[in-house]
Chain A
Amino acid sequence: GDSVTQMEGPVTLSEEAFLTINCTYTATGYPSLFWYVQYPGEGLQLLLKATKADDKGSNKGFEATYRKETTSFHLEKGSVQVSDSAVYFCALSDPTSGTYKYIFGTGTRLKVLA
């Protein structure tokens, strides 16, 4: 079945460092891919998404490119801030499978130090 694998956390970086959080997926069809962010004590918020191969999603300085050949959707940011400290979830949804379900990765906690 469909699945999402994220890198284990926590990831601890200094402010202004470069961020990469790896995400790979397995899907039978042509999924859409998402990154959600969860700040402490809050629900999840959509950060960015890509609905087809080679699409690049971007928002708030974060980027991720849908790579079909490597089945990956890695999240990157050039210069992180303390306010980026949160848990980041990679997710997929594969309407072609007929289930319309979202499948989330386990989440990666990011901690940015001043």
Chain B
Amino acid sequence: DSGVTQTPKHLITATGQRVTLRCSPRSGDLSVYWYQQSLDQGLQFLIQYYNGEERAKGNILERFSAQQFPDLHSELNLSSLELGDSALYFCASSVGALAGKETQYFGPGTRLLVL
């Protein structure tokens, strides 16, 4: 158990809909990272927040947005969903902001299926 929690575990929805994925980092960790894992794209970094502020951006679509709240939990919002958005979405956390030097702890993931 990494200490990172994600809800829900599974999500099934229809094209065009909007969903929210939630992540609670390990106690004491200030950074939260979001990743998308799909069969054809592999593991893609989406976005990082550090202590409430956006820190780094990866291959995140404009239809997706995220935020980190004062209690440090984070939400990833996915809107106008398409079939290709079906994937595993992972959240990870680390103590500080420097991803290069720090260990990231991953949650168990949310499996999203868009029908």
Contact = CB atoms under 8 A, between A and B. Distances in A.
Interface of A: 31-32, 36, 41-46, 49, 51, 89, 93-95, 99-107
A100 B102 CA distance: 10
Contacts of A94: 100
B33 A95 contact: no
B101 interface: yes
Contacts, number: 60
B101 A32 contact: yes
5 contacts: A31-B100, A43-B4, A44-B106, A89-B43, A101-B45
A46 B4 CA distance: 14
- Report, nearest first, the 9 A-B pairs whose CB atoms are least far apart: A43-B106, A93-B100, A95-B100, A104-B43, A44-B106, A100-B99, A106-B42, A100-B56, A32-B100
Contact of B104 (A41, A46, A103, A105): A46
B10 to A, nearest CB: 12
B25 interface: no
Contacts of B33: 102
A90 to B, nearest CB: 11
A44 B103 CA distance: 11
Contacts of B42: 104-107
B2 interface: yes
Given A94-B100, A99-B56, A43 B107 contact: yes
Interface string B39-66: 0001101001000000110100000000
B99 A93 contact: yes
Contacts of B108: 41-43
Nearest to A46: B103
B43 A107 contact: yes
Contacts of B48: 100-101
B97 interface: yes
Given A51-B100, A94-B100, A95-B100, 14 more contacts: A32-B101, A41-B108, A44-B92, A44-B106, A46-B103, A46-B104, A49-B103, A95-B101, A99-B56, A100-B97, A100-B98, A101-B58, A102-B33, A102-B45
